[in-house]
Structure 1
Amino acid sequence: MPRRLLILGSTGSIGTQALDVVARAEDLEVVGLSAGAQWEPLVEQARRTGVRRIALADGDAAARAAEAWTDGEVLTGAEGLVRLVLESGADLVLNALVGSAGLGPTVATLGEGIDLALANKESLVVGGELVMQLAEATGAQVLPVDSEHSALHQLLHGEPAGAVEKLVLTASGGPFRGRTRAELEDVTVEQALAHPTWAMGGKITIDSATLMNKGLEVIEAHHLFGTPYERIDVVVHPQSIVHSYVTLVDGAALAHLGHPDMRVPIAYALHHPDRVDVPVRPLDLAEVGSLTFEPVDAGTFPCLRLAREAGVAGGTAPCVLNAANEVAVHAFLEGRLPFLGIAAVIEETLGRLGSQPVRAFESLYVADREAREVAAEQVGALSA
């Protein structure tokens, strides 16, 4: 029997590459697809894969899809996404949604005891403690799809408790590696979207340029692997060949290497615990020649520090951080906020709201809403 797979965010970068992986696999059957507003490519994917049910977060897009596609059911909005999870009969859900919109489907998936291939890092940033408790309670697996966390998942497999000294996430450094803070004052959206090694969506590419992406990954690693923040490091590695490494108590270090291609961690998560052929070029270190590493310039890229501080504070602070970042990045992409304003908005929002205890998922939704309001005020003040 093939594994029944539901892909949330199927029209994005991760989703389309996941469908490429599925097309080469006989043991995976797609049973549902979702997108935000891109109804035309979603309908095309539905026709190609033969699914009977799709969901669109945007109501207008869902209405258009329902007119154009009469071969199945079109679900709408956040409720439709959750229904898709609950009613699809999936054995595995790939959550490749962007932003905090991914939290609801993550909770629905794990609450049903369905295994989760997680590319939506915000699920763990916003609600990591509750999400991991839910997974433990239902016995559902959380399989990371981020290249760094996939690497760590593989490196930690079989290592006994207490053997690992540190987790080290690698960062490409983004398009502005080596620049001073003064040199970032006038950068354009186009420059920030020009990532040197990965082809990604707009939000995650800007997060990579500010290093917020790496900050979110630090919080994600803390929850995924139960590792204290003081034992999670970040190092800049421009070639993106070493995806992460761990240091062990006996002085050894284990690293995961490979050419940057997201189909590798996607295939690992979708086929776990098996490995399958993926059509990527084998790594030839002699051909690569040299790999370089350097420390993060925390003064120029304060978002990594802000994320770490929010993670250590715990409670609602990571939720506030994430919401403020989403608002600020959106404003930058629309030309309403300068690049350096992104970190300024986040820092001010965190300063105003601080951290409150998280007793239930509802407190996260309240914190998210408040943080978006405060961040929007800050965007207005900075762009005035």
Structure 2
Amino acid sequence: MVILGSTGSIGRQAADVIARMAGRLRAVGLAAGRDGARLLEQVRRLRPEVVALEDPEAGRRWQPVLEREGVRVLVGPGSAEVLATWPGARRVLSAITGAAGLRPTLAALEAGRDVALANKESLVAAGSLVTRLAAARGARLLPVDSEHSALFQCLQGRRPEEVERLILTASGGPFRGWSREALARVTPAEAVRHPNWSMGAKISVDSATLMNKGLEVIEAHWLFGLPADRIAVVIHPQSIVHGLVELVDGAAVAVLARPDMRQPIQYALCYPERGPRLVERLDLAAAGMLTFEEPDTGTFPCLALAYQALQAGGTAPAVLNAANEEAVAAFLAGKLPFPGIAETVAAVLDRHRPQPVTGLDDVLEADAWARAEARALLAGAWEAGRAE
């Protein structure tokens, strides 16, 4: 298989799964952005045939070093797309963060590869394109997010008419129960400290705003074909129950596991088989009480914004995603207060008039428009802040 985004959080954990299942899984190729040092470590551990570095400067620096390890090196923009179609790779793990993962994901599906999808933005921004292409090429979309993996596992062997609704769980992030006034003082360092999961900075901030759960609602719509009003979210601080499928007779089926991404990664890489245990056994007695509560969309409006974008349809989800990426980047750079993330996304969505998605150009145009709008709003906020 090929790992796109091998040096990120999901990519590193996937590399660990593959290394520990060397008799059953093999990494043919690894694609990274610019982290040549970590890529070199992975090359020495996994011994792939080929690697890619999208950043040209990093590629020039690390190409000679990597080639001395006997691996072929692709460099520059588009190299991840080439790797996504590499001969001999039967499955592609798409774990590049953000909208940058869309083109490589589409390339893998166009080539008929099964895609283990950790890049939720591909489905958020271009769900209709991704799912149509997968169906046309006979390729499978295998969810990697723990929540979607749980739903996918619960749905195995079930007929669509048996399913009433899907329920995604959310930890609530590090600021569950905080007031809007307290959130105004949140720092980036606080926002990236997730209470249960080890994740990258962007997805950690999305978890803190509940935007991550909103993106997952949109992703679930495209993966499982249910409308927004049949996809619910419940806050579950312990992160033991990862997802539930409510059946028409009133029963609910759930997947429970420790909060360790290696389990859903392994399931997607090995599907339809199951691999050996790589994670600690779930001890329910030690876990103690499991609690659930409704999300506070008044304090954390990003979840409601995602539902709004899904119901609007067309290019609205792509705009939501792009505006959020720009706002999160500004927050992490110390140029936007935490509540400003939701405010920026809401303002951009309010200015957008959704258009039908007939091809990739429609998605890319909406993405570019939303980023420009968000940057203009953010620039105005920075100027106002300096004036004060």
The TM-score bracket by the shorter chain reads: over 0.9
For residues 160-171 of structure 1, what are the structure 2 equivalents within 5 Å?
160-171=159-170
For residues 284-299 of structure 1, what are the structure 2 equivalents within 5 Å?
284-299=283-298
SS across alignment from 2:234: strand
For residues 8-157 of structure 1, what are the structure 2 equivalents within 5 Å?
8-25=4-21, 26-70=23-67, 71-157=70-156
Supply the distance in 1 between the matched residues of 2:24 and 2:286 (Cα, whole angstroms): 35
Deviations 1:155-191 (A, max 9, x none): 0111112111110000000000001111111111111
After alignment, is 161-170 or 64-73 more displaced?
64-73
Q: Tell me the CA shift for residue 193 of structure 1.
A: 1.1
Q: Which residue of 1 aligns with 2:231?
A: 232
Deviations 1:91-138 (A, max 9, x none): 000011100011001101111111000000001001001100111111
Which amino acid in 1 is paired with 2:179? T
Which stretches of structure 1, 4 residues or longer, exceed 6 Å deviation after superposition?
Answer: none
Q: Tell me the CA shift for residue 288 of structure 1.
A: 1.6
Q: Tell me the CA shift for residue 278 of structure 1.
A: 2.3
For residues 115-264 of structure 1, what are the structure 2 equivalents within 5 Å?
115-264=114-263
Q: Tell me the CA shift for residue 280 of structure 1.
A: 1.8
For residues 305-316 of structure 1, what are the structure 2 equivalents within 5 Å?
305-316=304-315
Supply the distance in 2 between the matched residues of 1:89 and 1:317 (Cα, whole angstroms): 37
Supply the distance in 1 between the matched residues of 2:210 and 2:203 (Cα, whole angstroms): 10
SS across alignment from 1:33: strand
Q: Does 1:351 align with 2:347?
A: no
Are the equivalent residues in 2 in contact too, given 1:113–1:138 (CA < 8 A)? yes
Which amino acid in 1 is paired with 2:2? L
Deviations 1:283-304 (A, max 9, x none): 2222222100000001000000
Q: Tell me the CA shift for residue 277 of structure 1.
A: 1.3
Q: Tell me the CA shift for residue 76 of structure 1.
A: 2.5
Identical-pair percentage: 56
Structure 2 stretches of 5 or more lacking a match?
A: 384-388
Supply the distance in 2 between the matched residues of 1:155 and 1:82 (Cα, whole angstroms): 32
Q: Tell me the CA shift for residue 373 of structure 1.
A: 0.7
Are the equivalent residues in 2 in contact too, given 1:109–1:115 (CA < 8 A)? yes
Supply the distance in 1 between the matched residues of 2:300 and 2:13 (Cα, whole angstroms): 30
Q: Tell me the CA shift for residue 48 of structure 1.
A: 2.3
Supply the distance in 2 between the matched residues of 1:283 and 1:68 (Cα, whole angstroms): 42
Are the equivalent residues in 2 in contact too, given 1:168–1:235 (CA < 8 A)? yes
Are the equivalent residues in 1 in contact too, given 2:84–2:105 (CA < 8 A)? no
Q: Which residue of 2 aligns with 1:339?
A: 338
Are the equivalent residues in 2 in contact too, given 1:167–1:231 (CA < 8 A)? yes
Supply the distance in 2 between the matched residues of 1:175 and 1:149 (Cα, whole angstroms): 22
Supply the distance in 1 between the matched residues of 2:76 and 2:223 (Cα, whole angstroms): 28
Supply the distance in 2 between the matched residues of 1:91 and 1:327 (Cα, whole angstroms): 34
Are the equivalent residues in 2 in contact too, given 1:32–1:88 (CA < 8 A)? no
Supply the distance in 1 between the matched residues of 2:195 and 2:258 (Cα, whole angstroms): 13
Supply the distance in 1 between the matched residues of 2:241 and 2:66 (Cα, whole angstroms): 43
SS across alignment from 2:273: coil
Supply the distance in 1 between the matched residues of 2:192 and 2:47 (Cα, whole angstroms): 34
TM-score normalised by L of structure 1: 0.97
Deviations 1:17-74 (A, max 9, x none): 1111111211111110011111111122123222231111211111111132222332
Q: Tell me the CA shift for residue 89 of structure 1.
A: 2.5
Q: Which residue of 2 aligns with 1:375?
A: 374
Which amino acid in 1 is paired with 2:45? R
SS across alignment from 2:306: helix
Supply the distance in 2 between the matched residues of 1:178 and 1:78 (Cα, whole angstroms): 43
Are the equivalent residues in 1 in contact too, given 2:163–2:246 (CA < 8 A)? yes
